Amino acid sequence: MTVQYKFPDNFWWGSAASATQMEGAAHEGGKGENIWDHWYKREPNRFFDGVGPETTSDFYYRYKEDIQRMKEIGHNSFRFSISWARLIPGGEGEVNQEAVNFYNDVINELLKYDIEPFVNLYHFDMPKEQQDKGGFENRDVVALFAEYAKQCFDLFGDRVKMWFTFNEPIVPVEGGYLYDFHYPNIVDAQKAFQVAYHTMLASALAISHFRKLDIKGQIGIILNLTPSYPRSQHPADLKAAHRADLFFNRSFLDPAVLGEFPTELIELLKEYEHLPAYKEEDLTVIKENTVDILGVNYYQPRRVKAKDHVPNPDSPFMPDWFFDNYEMPGRKMNPYRGWEIYEKGIYDIMINLKNNYGNIPSFISENGMGVQDEHRFLKDGRIEDDYRINFIKGHLTWLHKAIEEGCHTKGYHLWTFMDNWSWMNAYKNRYGFYSVNLETQERTAKKSAYWFKEVAENNGF
């Protein structure tokens, strides 16, 4: 392969996944219930095709063969999450030894194949008992999360060098407290801001434990940074895009990297009486415990326009001072998922990190193309996903340009290793390098898996 786009030495090539989405064994191995197990029991019909978190690719039992497959397709790194409810059923108290054994085995197996384990501590999966106490609405849960993080550092920090506190902290806020697509299905802006604030405090507190333990590694957070593009250069549209950025990106990015919330955000929250409860000393914890590295998840941009004052029934939290989403005519769409494809967005994110966030080291922790009914692309027993190859190529080309212009980008992880269960969407959209037959648990590499192997081996394409 002639390599036109060469990436820096030791670039991370791999994929990402999460505990609830791939482990299975939802009620086995001493695991406690999390909000997904609970919500599915309560409202199975909310989930696509009525499929819940018990139906997964069974990584809990098949991790050895899966890790071998990772090696086969050239991975040098893999991100997974620890299930809080598996490690500490109920979220506080005794550690579950079966879970310790499982995660130890996964880590050791990855290391055996020279695959760097990237461990994320929280991927949308609050233990049910803690959610009953309010989840991150409740200040006590902040300390419990940090305690759980400390346990993980103690147990696995001798081998794991790459740690992340949260994946996409905005999502449980939007889903659980504004737009009703995650448990606890509350629609209450005040609670949403409290949860967002406590999540960032919990992240900083976990980082403070990490630093005290003097773990030889790095700790970061994974954010879905969504560039906001205005409909036009009209001041009202520009202001709308600015606010979208402030709420959906900077509420998390600024405290994580700069150690403080944007003043403008605080002023707006005060003005609209949504300022969350906080203690002065929290701000020191946040200030002193910023991240070493940032994981960036990027799927699609946000197109924004000024509010047109027509109530939008699909958007319960879109007050007048906010913005409206804008369906830009002619935008390129993923025809199989309904999300926009805008490859340059990945470059814009990186340039922003370089210019405004001290060029913090970062990597693409998720990027990927979901496809409904992907079996229609099956040919001679394997999925011919040229559309995914083109999608990855397009994004990598812009990422490469960002790196050439001095951005400190250290890797690229696809979402995801094998088709997995995705919250309310269950198995609607498939993203994996491998397809999975859920009846037989047979895995089959898609065309993109072989292509990616070459990219990893050549450190470029």
Stretch of 66-74, 135-143, 393-401, 421-429 lying at the interface with ligand BG6 (CB under 6 A): 421-429
Nearer to ligand BG6, 55 or 190 (CB): 55
Integer Cα distance of 196 and 185 in angstroms: 15
Write the DSSP string, 175-215: HHHTSSSSTT----HHHHHHHHHHHHHHHHHHHHHHHHHT-
Strand pairing partners for 340? 333
Binding mask 396-415 for ligand BG6 (x = CB under 6 A): -------------------x
Please provide the distance, in angstroms rounded to a whole number, between the alpha carbons at the two ends of the chain. 7
- Classified as helix, coil or strand, 436 is strand
370 binds ligand BG6 (CB under 6 A): yes
Our finding on whether 429 is near ligand BG6 (CB under 6 A) is yes
Q: Closest approach of Cβ 168 to ligand BG6, in Å?
A: 5
Radius of gyration of the chain (CA): 21
Determine if 422 is a binding residue for ligand BG6 (CB under 6 A): yes
* The one among 23, 168, 174, 254 contacting ligand BG6 by CB under 6 A: 168
Residue 366 known to be catalytic: yes
Residue 167, number of CB atoms within 10 A of its CB: 25
| Closer to ligand BG6 by Cβ: residue 304 or 414 | 414
Instruction: Give me the catalytic one of 137, 366, 374, 404.
Output: 366
Given a contact cutoff of 8 angstroms between Cβ atoms, the answer to whether 261 and 199 are in contact is: no
Binding residues for ligand BG6, how many (CB under 6 A)?
12
- Measured CA to CA, the distance from residue 227 to residue 295 in angstroms comes to 15
The site map against ligand BG6 for 201-240 (x = CB under 6 A) is -----------------------x----------------
- State which residue, 113 or 181, has the beta carbon closest to ligand BG6: 181
Residues of this chain, 276-315, that bind ligand BG6 according to CB under 6 A: 297
Nearest approach, Cβ of residue 32 and ligand BG6 (Å) = 20
Minimum distance of ligand BG6 from residue 243's CB (angstroms): 22
Rounded (to 5) percent helix, strand, coil in the chain: 45, 15, 40
Residue window 128-167: x/- pattern of binding to ligand BG6, with contact defined by CB under 6 A: ---------------------------------------x
C-alpha–C-alpha distance, residues 429 and 373, integer Å: 8
| Best CA proximity match to 164, nearest among 212, 122, 195 | 122
Q: Which residues contact 112 (CB under 8 A, 6 or more apart)?
A: none
Minimum distance, C-beta of residue 423 to ligand BG6, in the bound complex (Å) = 6
Decide if residue 18 touches ligand BG6 (CB under 6 A). yes
Q: How many CA atoms lie within 13 A of 352 on its CB side?
A: 18
Q: Which residues are catalytically annotated?
A: 366
Positions touching ligand BG6 (CB under 6 A) are 18, 21, 167-168, 224, 297, 366, 370, 415, 422, 425, 429
